[in-house]
Structure 1
Amino acid sequence: MFTPQGPTLRELAVEALSSTERGYDLLAPKFDRTPFRTPDRVLEAVEHALRPLGPFDAGLDVCCGTGAGVGVLRRLCRERVTGVDFSAGMLAEGRAAQPQTPDGPAVGWIRADARALSFRPAFDLAVSFGAFGHFLPKERPGLFAQVHSVLRPGGRFAFPVGAPPRFGSPLYCALLGFDAVMRVRNALWRPRFVMYYRTFPLPEVLDDLARTGFDVELLPLPELGRLPDGSPRCRLVVARRA
């Protein structure tokens, strides 16, 4: 799963026994050489689906990490792009990897908790990639409300969601096992490291978005393939502030 330039088993163990924030600070220099980084083909599929919904002036990458989503927004937004994350280490890596260019939108990197955003309603598009496992289900409505509050009327919040693995499949068992281990770890060890793969079921997510005040649609991402029944392996949730 990891390249020789990625983290060692010992480094991963130290990170997993740290807090979520401290763990990502430690992982940041090698994060882009792990499977945790959103694959380029996912980023490209999302960009392709969002482009017809523009133009966009200002974009926000929620829980931006090292800035994979910032790169998408820089190609979609005309004026400015902001990445927000609570890990100073991840922000530093993103800033170094994506320097400001004179012919693109202004890019800013802000350290903040996505559950307490302090921006005014100034963004046309917000995206997030691979971060929702760091929020407990009870925190999800508050998180969505924060994103809703920083979007202009008509602004969109978009994120990809993969189809759930088939019950009993190797992937299903692996994710179930990982979440079980994390629950035991967090019950026995402090500080907690919040990361779960099975706490973001699409029907509940759509209900939370609707209750927050979003109009929601699902767009297929055909570039990422289809399941045997013909349904897409991955969809893009596009939640519009009414």
Structure 2
Amino acid sequence: MFSPHGPSLRELVIQALSSVERGYDLLAPKFDHTPFRTPDGILAATADALRPLGPFGQGLDVCCGTGAGTQVLAPLCQGRITGVDFSAGMLAQARATHPDAEWVQADVRELPFAEDFDLAVSFGALGHFLPEERPALFGGVFRSLRPGGLFAFPIGAPPPLTSAWYWTLLGFDAVMRVRNAVWRPPFVMYYRTCPLHALRDDLTAAGFTVTTVPLAALGWREDGSPRYRLVLARKK
């Protein structure tokens, strides 16, 4: 599916019936040929928005997957770049593609760092965490940053109620909830559990000062609001 080099429908079904970790281990060799990998346009817009705030020292990619976030961190960070993920398969792909970075296998709800980084980023991963898990995630990122450090991630505007995309995402989340109610192990991936106001509240509770900037290169909605914003969470 998706491309001649992408996973087959059968492979996607097997992934969806696995745990999150096992599913991504299976998908890893073909992950970059799917829409699940963050598009280069979003990565470039994020880098452009962060550039005036740098340069930075050491960089951390939280839930790094196959390492696409290094495209953002490499030109902005003068020190070591580290990616962390719990999927050994995804890390193997990242290590092969970006051998100059450091790759760490860990549960990001229990990050093994303490004031080691100046910039942390994350792309497309928040849907893998239930709302009650976000405090552990954000708390770990907070501890991993040096004082004054920055945690940044892009977030898309919610689709309007009248759009087909709204109902597609609603249907996907409903199917995932049914799947997790009747099948074990669970596969946590929801698109509608991360509204900006909830993320802002959780980041503030973790100790961050939170602002956002529009990613203008990614366009604007009919009401004049940006299609994407970059969340900037600064460690006080």
Does 2:178 align with 1:189?
no
User: What is the distance in 2 between the residues matched to 1:202 and 1:43?
Assistant: 19
TM-score if structure 1 supplies the norm length?
A: 0.96
**CA offset at residue 189 of structure 1?**
0.4
The answer for unaligned runs of 5 or more in structure 2 is: none
Find the residue that maps to 2:82 and give its secondary structure. strand
Unpaired runs of 5+ residues, structure 1, are 101-106
Look up the match of 2:212: 218
Instruction: Give the equivalent residue in structure 1 for 2:70.
Output: 70
- Matched residues, percent identical? 67
Greater displacement, 115-124 / 24-33: 115-124
Please name the residue that 2:43 is paired with: 43
- The offset of 1:86, in angstroms, is 0.2
Rounded Cα–Cα distance in structure 1 between residues aligned with 2:155 and 2:113: 26
Amino acid aligned to 1:38: T
Q: Distance in 2 between matches of 1:193 and 1:208?
A: 23
- The offset of 1:212, in angstroms, is 1.1
Match of 2:119 in 1: 125
Which residue of the partner structure matches residue 104 of structure 1? none
1:96 aligns with 2:96: yes
How far does the alpha carbon of each residue in 1:176-196 deviate from its partner, in whole angstroms, 9 at most, with x for none? 000000000000000111100
The alpha carbon displacement at 1:38 in A equals: 0.3
Q: Secondary structure at the match of 1:238?
A: strand
Name 2:6's counterpart in structure 1. 6
**205-214 or 19-28, which moves further after superposition?**
205-214
Q: Given residue 111 of structure 2, which amino acid in structure 1 is its aligned partner?
A: L
Counterpart position of 1:28: 28
Aligned-residue RMSD, C-alpha: 0.8
SS in 2 for 1:65: coil
Aligned equivalents of 1:23, 1:212: Cα separation in 2: 30
Q: TM-score under structure 2 normalisation? A: 0.98
Count of residues in correspondence between the two structures: 236
Indicate yes or no: 2:156 matched with 1:176. no
Q: Secondary structure at the match of 1:235?
A: strand
In structure 2, distance between residues paired with 1:3 and 1:13:
17
Q: CA deviation at 1:168?
A: 3.2
C-alpha distance in 2 between matches for 1:168 and 1:184: 24
For 1:75 and 1:91, the matched residues in 2 are separated by: 21
> Counterpart of 1:32 in structure 2: which amino acid?
D
Cα distance in 2 between the residues matched to 1:226 and 1:84: 32
Would you identify which runs of 4 or more consecutive aligned residues in structure 1 move more than 4 Å? none
SS at match of 2:21: helix
